[in-house]
Structure formats: structure tokens, C-alpha cells
Chains A and B, each alone.
Chain A
Amino acid sequence: MKNFENNFPFFARNSKINYLDNAATTQVLYTVPRDRYEFEIEHRANAHRSGHRLGTWVDTQYHAAKQSIATWLNVLEDQIVFNSGTTQGLNDSAEFITNRHERTVTYVGSDSHHSLFLPFYRLSKNGDHVLKTINTTTEGLLDLDWLEQELTTVDKNTKIIIAATTVSNVLGKINNLERIRSMAYEHNAVTVIDASQIVGKRPVDITGFDFVAFSWHKIYGPMGLGCLIVGLDWLRSEPVRPGGGSITHVSFDQVDWQMGAGRFESGTQNLSAIVTIPKLTEWIRQNEQEIAEHDVALARYVVSHCPGDMFEPVSFSDTGLISLLPKIGRVEDYAYMLDAKNIMVRTGKLCAEPLVSKYGSGLIRLSWACYTNKRDIEQAFNTLMEIYEKLRKHVQ
């Protein structure tokens, strides 16, 4: 496996840390803090509003960022909306849809992160918007056979929404996006896709969906920046958060919104983050194949080496992460002691409480990235087993 670690300055400063909380946040590529710093000390200005050369520089970088994403993900530049992250993208999507459709039924995956579940849960408190859950199969994948059958029962006056995650942040299984897309097409359903656990790990076809959201802090990029890819059919929608920058003309009785994604990007954008995207995207594109192969190899290694007699994996992961249910002790105790050994993992409800509660009061999640190696996983498993033995003495 290729060693990407040297591209991530965090590890030069924290050589003892075994960072396995990548499903929450990855470390940043070396170009990101550099580009951010350069922007702040040399080019800082606002985009789209300034006639001076600093503003022009920012505009150029802003469009370069969108071009690089468009090329990488095979979408139009005009479809890309910058925002604060996946959560904002998914909340906005729910609002776009209900602004257009008065009666909806949303099928949301039971494997969803709260950020996908909650916007539609909140809508369902209004009687015209119904929420239904797509359960997972024994393998941990969305039960699309059930969904296919269920969609045939929805009355013609109700708009179907399919809200699905590409990869659950608990189960690490890759859902069948192709089938979701064709089902949505057949039933004229609106699709909302949480792609935050797949983009940057595996090549993924996100075309043909209505809304696709992801965050850059999970793909070696800056905090506080996300993208919502908006389907072509929605580009003329009324903005859900209008403001400066989203218009071409305003009078007291007439507003002309910008064409394309610009109408959805009101206010000052997170420009110090956006300017880092061209180089980051270029690096990911150059290494995409190797990153994916590395992810596949680690997933296989993790599944085959997991000490299953002590920790029950909740699924046989395909990508990025594995969640474990310890047979002894509380997950918090494992977290405290793993931290004492410089191993950083996530424990608890994993922002997916309805799903995690099916397994127990909490899970231990190990999640990897391109700089993680087999030795890191082995060390984590060995330490987990050591803690397990310690806790055996203290837990009845």
C-alpha cells in the first residue's frame, strides 16, 4: 500500500498519535493550511463584489474551485453550491423540496446520520409530510427490495422523497446508488443523498440525483465547508436563504435571482477554505485509484483481523470504518483508555442514535483514511484486547 502519511503535516507533529476517527474528520492535506495562510496574509478580500485586483484573485480561485469539483465529480459548475457542510446541505434540500411540494412521503434510511434523518423528521411533524423508514438487511444495506414494493403503494398526489446515505457512518456498507437512482426515476421521486462517507474514498457516480451533500473536512480539506450538488431541475428554485450575492437585480418590487447555484450562496462564503479546494481536488484526483485500493485493502484487513470473540462488529464493512460492540464494559471506558494509549476513536451513539440503540448503549468506531496503515489497525485491536482484559476484572 502506498504511504500517504508524509502528505499530512499533522503526523509530523503528532507522530505518536494513532488517529482512527476519520469518519468524523480527517487530517488535512499539506496544501490546505498553506493555501489558507496565503489567502489570509496576501490575498484576503471578498469575492464577487470587488473591482480591485485582490477581489479578482479571489473570484478566480473561487471559480477554479468549482471547476475542479465539476471535473472531478462529473457535474456542472453551476450545480455546485458551497455551504457550511453536509448538515446545511441536507436541511436546505428538505426545504427546497417542501417549498415545491405540499404533500410528501419521505423514505429515509434507518442507517442515516442524524443530519439526514432530522430535517425530514422535523417536516413530518406537519401532517402533510409523512416520514417512513427504510430498514437495513442483515448485511447492513438498505432494504431496497422493500422500498421498491413500498413505492408502488404511494398515491399519485403525494411526492416521494428518497433520503439515503451512500455509506452509513455506523455500518460502513456501500448502498446501491444505481438502484436508488433508477427507482427514483421510475417513480418520479426526489432524491436526497448524503455522500459524506464516500466522496474522496471511492470513485462515485452522483449524477442524476436531485441533491447530493458532502463535507470537505472528511476528505482532507478545511473545516466549515461543504458542497450541495443541486440537480438541474432545481436550479431555478427560490433560494431558501436569500441575501447578498444571490441576486442580479433588486428593486423594491422586483428581485432577479442569479442563474444557477449562485442564487443559493448568499452572504460571504468561507473563502479561506474555498481557495484550498483546487489543489486538494487535484491531489485527490491524481491519487483516487490508489486511495480506493488502499481503502478496500484496509476494509478487508479490518474485517478479517477483528477480535470478534471480544468485540462484535455490527457489519462486515466495505469501506472506511468498522463499529464494534464490546462484549464486556462500557464504550466510554474503552475510549478513555484508548486515548491514554494515543489512539483516537469515536464512541457512543455516533450521531445515529436510532440505529446504534438497536445494538446497545453505544459502539466503538474505528475509521481510517488514506494515511492509515495496517500497523495502526493492529495496534488499535491489540490495545482494545488489552483493555478488554483489564475491564474483565472490574465488570460483573
Chain B
Amino acid sequence: MRNFENMFSELLEIDDAMDKYEWIMDYGDKALSLSQHLCNESTLVRGCTSALYLNKVGDQFLSHSESAIVKGLSSMICDYYNQADEASRQYFDLNTLNSIGLAPLLSMGRQNGVANLIRRLKELT
């Protein structure tokens, strides 16, 4: 199992914020995404500016958002969570995201949404 920092070390090496966003959007494009028919009120994560959906499909957490950046970020979090052991999942929080230099990209408004995403992941576990 890789930790979050190792898993996304490539992102850590990117200095320019725009390039970081580009990388995140690319990641979201390639990631498995929650099917449209599962995007509904019951899978909606509250508190995000853009609509973000999360659900467990089989043993995998999958997400979807119409925002390319939110989709990329949530896919990264789901992918990490899917391969993390129970202890790592328990300690996973906003600070974990900061460890790969995402903090400057996450304003308070966005942090609320991501915090709700993490909370929902833990609820669904």
C-alpha cells in the first residue's frame, strides 16, 4: 500500500498552480467515475460549490462532478481511499491533502466540500 504522498508525488513536483490544476483535471479524465444514473440526491455530497456525488460501487468508492477540478480531486481521494488500509483511512483528513501541496489550492469554501467528502467516505466505509 502506498501513502497519499507517494501516490501523488508527481503533483508535488509541479510548481505552477495552473499546471497542478491541469494535472488534477487529467487525473479526473482518466479515473473511473460514478455513473450518471447514480448521481442523485442520496449520493450528493453537501457543502461543495459544484455538485459532487459519491457512492460505493462494489468495494470501490467512486465519485463524479461536473467541475473538472472537483472531479479530479475527488477521484484522487477515492483512489487513495480504495487502496488504503483501515488505519490509514481512519487518519485520513484535510492535512493529508496538504502533504502533497494541495493546501494553497484549497480555499476555505473548497475545504468545506472536501472535508464533507472525507466525512462521507468514512460514513460509507
- Do A and B come together as binding partners? yes
Which residues of A are at the interface with B, using a C-beta cutoff of 8 A?
A: 329-330, 332-333, 336-337, 339-341, 348, 390-391, 393-395
Which chain A residues border B21 with CB–CB below 8 Å? 336-337, 340, 390
Instruction: Contact check, A333 vs B17: say whether CB atoms are below 8 A apart.
Output: no
The answer to whether A390 touches B22, judged by C-beta atoms less than 8 angstroms apart, is yes
Secondary structure class of chain B's binding surface, majority of residues: helix
What are 7 residue pairs bridging A and B, where the CB atoms are less than 8 Å apart in the complex?
A330-B70, A333-B25, A333-B69, A336-B110, A340-B105, A390-B21, A394-B26
Query: How far apart are B105's CB and chain A's nearest CB, in angstroms?
Result: 7
A336-B105, A348-B49, A394-B28 in contact; A330/B18 too (CB < 8 A)?
A: no
Complex-state Cα separation, A337 to B22, whole angstroms? 9
User: How far is the CB of B113 from the nearest CB of chain A, in Å?
Assistant: 10
Which positions in B face A, CB cutoff 8 Å?
16-18, 20-22, 25-26, 28-29, 49-50, 66-70, 105, 107, 110
Choose from A329, A340, A394, A395 the contact partner of B18 (Cβ within 8 Å): A340
Q: Which of A340, A341, A348, A394 contacts B25 (CB 8 A)?
A: A394
Q: How far is the CB of B32 from chain A (nearest CB, A)?
A: 16
Kindly state the separation between the CA atoms of A355 and B70 in the bound complex, as whole angstroms: 25
CB pair A390–B25 under 8 Å, yes or no, is yes
Greatest chain A CB density within 10 A among B17, B25, B26, B67 is at: B67
A390 vs B67: C-alpha distance when bound (angstroms): 13
A341 to B67, CA, bound (A): 19
Bound form: Cα–Cα A391–B50 in Å: 15
Residues in B whose Cβ lies below 8 Å from that of A337: 18, 21, 69
Residues on A with beta carbons closer than 8 Å to the beta carbon of B107 = 339
Closest to A387 in B: B18
Q: B68–A394 contact, CB under 8 A?
A: yes
Residues on A with C-beta less than 8 A from B49 are: 332, 348
A332 to B106 alpha-carbon distance, docked (Å): 12
Closest to A390 in B: B22
B109 to chain A: closest CB distance in Å? Answer: 9
Whether B70 and A341, one on each chain, are in contact in the complex, defined by CB atoms closer than 8 angstroms, is: no
- CB of A332 within 8 A of CB of B69, answer yes
Distance, CA A390 to CA B18, complexed state (A):
10
Q: Which residues of B contact A333 (CB under 8 A)?
A: 25, 50, 67-70
Q: How far is the CB of A335 from chain B (nearest CB, A)?
A: 8
Q: How far is the CA of A330 from the CA of B25 in the complex (A)?
A: 13
* Smallest beta-carbon distance A228→chain B, Å: 30
Please measure, in the bound complex, the distance between the C-alpha atom of A391 and the C-alpha atom of B113, giving whole angstroms.
Answer: 21
Q: How far is the CA of A201 from the CA of B50 in the complex (A)?
A: 33
Give bound CA distance, A339 to B69, whole Å: 13
For A336, the chain B residues whose CB sits under 8 A away are 21, 69, 105, 110
Residues of B within 8 A of A329 (CB): 67-68
Is the CB–CB distance between B18 and A332 below 8 Å?
no
8 Å CB contact of B67 from A332, A339, A340, A393: A332
Chain B minimum-CB-distance residue to A338: B18
Shortest CB–CB separation between residue A300 and chain B, in angstroms? Answer: 30
Separation of A182 and B49 alpha carbons in the complex (Å): 42
In the assembled complex, how far is the CB of residue A195 from the closest CB belonging to chain B, in whole angstroms? Answer: 28
B68 touches A340 (CB 8 A): no
- State the CA gap A336–B50 with chains docked (Å): 12
Q: What chain B residues lie within 8 Å of A348 (beta carbons)?
A: 49
Name which residue of chain B comes closest to A349, CB basis: B49
Select from chain B the residue with minimum beta-carbon distance to A362: B49
A341: chain B residues at CB < 8 Å are 17-18
Residue from B17, B20, B68, B110 in contact with A330 in the complex, judged by beta carbons closer than 8 Å = B68
Closest B residue by C-beta to A383: B18
Chain B: minimal CB distance from A150 (Å): 37
Nearest-neighbour CB distance to chain A for B73, whole angstroms, equals 10
- Residues on A with C-beta less than 8 A from B50 are 330, 332-333
Closest CB in chain A relative to B28 CB, distance in Å: 7
- Among residues of B, the one whose C-beta sits closest to the C-beta of A337 is B21
